[in-house]
Amino acid sequence: MTHAGVYIHIPFCRSRCSYCDFATGMYEGALAERYVAAVISEIESWREVAAPSPVDTVYFGGGTPSLLAPAQIESILTAVRSRFEIVAGAEITLEINPGDGGASAAAKQQNFSELRGLGVNRASFGAQTFDGRDLKQLGRTHSADDIPKTFQQLRDAGFANLNFDLIAGLPGQTLAGWQRNLEQALTLRPEHLSLYLLDVHEGTPLADQIRAGMRPKPDDDLAGEMYATMIEQVCAAGYEHYEISNFCRPGFASRHNTKYWADAPYYGFGNSAHSYDGHRRRWANERDTMKYLRMIEKGESPIVERTELSEADARSESIFLGLRLMRGLDLKSYQARFGMDLREQYDGELRRLMDAGLIEIGGGVLMLTSRGAVLSNEVFMALA
């Protein structure tokens, strides 16, 4: 049986990062309390899938979910457990920012210990960079010193599954600077690393700063070097490169995020949350926090977008998502699902991509090469 995941969106932050285009806003205690009540109400009244799959992952993302009190996280988890069948050993992840979790070191330690006691067994935190200057430019509220301190506090609280997010290609970042980031992360030995190339989104302060000449434009060639260095350095340290941007120590792949790439069902709650029934139906909630709250408080559904995938859309998604995983796309499974041989369907495109060294086919599996992972968007466009 395919297990589902539950995603809970918490939209609150201490400050707005210059590169962020997620549905987030400033933290206010009264608003957070109102929001938690709304999410619980949405979960308890949820009827989108008549017979939802058992759930083996719960993911609190945002935003900064660690800004909520443990008691608020507990209330949401209680609602999830009352509405869904949660299997034994479920992965329960909470995103945090270094430095968050309490006013003092003792308060932070107590906070993390309480979260661990609630069943939260995985923490993912946005280190982004170990360079203090870059942290300030990005609008981050933590210092470089907060990263190892928070890491140790989580370890002391009993967390044996930790993830770091790091961003490569920051304005003005050098290859040597990126290598230092990787070295510092690897010294701490988290179980998982999510390593992203900077994506500049229109409408963000960073995009405006680059347009105004206040920050240098991202250098695509340098970003490619950083990506290649990342693969070499992290894999040499014993990590598995299992998805384009994700690495793990053996046995610690993100079970929740893998659902997005493996066509498994997931059910999202909170503003801007997306869901998928594992077949053809996708739906999404209202993005604006205040509109979401008003809809829930009026007893209305917060869903503002529904999509029924066509056969062509389902095939395209299967290729795009399957190729994000470095294990590749199983061609027999694709043919069994869609009744088509992908090699015949895309014969010319596959030949060109193989000649360019971007993909390879072996053992009935289509997969990206290391070079193809760097240029994955070109592969996806060719097979769209």
What tens digit of pLDDT does each residue of 227-254 get?
Answer: 889 999 999 999 999 999 999 999 999 9
Helix/strand number for the chain, H first, E second: 16, 17
Which of 42-46, 99-103, 181-185 is predicted least confidently?
A: 99-103
3-state secondary structure of 128: strand
Burial class (CB in 10 A: 0-12, 13-18, 19+), 82: exposed
Q: What is the mean pLDDT of residues 31-47?
A: 97
Contact predicate 53/278, CB 8 Å: yes
Contact predicate 128/166, CB 8 Å: yes
Which of 198-202, 205-209, 266-270 is predicted least confidently?
A: 205-209
pLDDT value for 21: 46
pLDDT value for 225: 87
pLDDT value for 131: 81
pLDDT value for 266: 98
Separation of alpha carbons 307 and 276, rounded Å? 10
* Residue ranges per structural domain of the chain: 4-261, 311-382
- Report how far Cα 87 is from the mean position of its chain's Cα atoms: 22
pLDDT value for 84: 97
For β-strands 274-276 and 281-285, DSSP reports them as antiparallel
Task: For residue range 49-88, list pLDDT tens digits in order.
Answer: 999 999 999 999 988 899 999 999 999 999 999 999 999 9
Task: For residue range 84-122, list pLDDT tens digits in order.
Answer: 999 999 999 999 988 665 567 788 889 999 999 999 999
Q: What is the mean pLDDT of residues 303-312?
A: 96
pLDDT beyond 90 at 168: no
Burial class (CB in 10 A: 0-12, 13-18, 19+), 38: buried
Instruction: Count CA within 13 A, CB hemisphere, residue 3.
Output: 19
Identical fold for domains 4-261 and 311-382, yes or no, is no
pLDDT value for 210: 47
Helices 146-156 and 175-188 pack at an angle, to 10 degrees, of 20
Question: 161 pairs with which residues across the strands?
Answer: none
Task: For residue range 319-354, list pLDDT tens digits in order.
Answer: 999 999 999 999 999 999 999 999 999 999 999 999
Amino acid at 6: V
Pinpoint the alpha helices (H) of the chain.
29-45, 70-83, 105-117, 132-138, 146-156, 175-188, 205-211, 220-236, 255-261, 289-297, 311-324, 331-338, 342-345, 347-355, 370-374, 376-382
pLDDT-derived band at 217 (thresholds 50, 70, 90) equals low
pLDDT-derived band at 142 (thresholds 50, 70, 90) equals low
pLDDT-derived band at 203 (thresholds 50, 70, 90) equals low
pLDDT value for 39: 98
Q: Which CATH architecture has domain 311-382?
A: Orthogonal Bundle (1.10)
Superfamily of domain 4-261: Aldolase class I (3.20.20.70)
pLDDT value for 145: 84
pLDDT-derived band at 6 (thresholds 50, 70, 90) equals very high
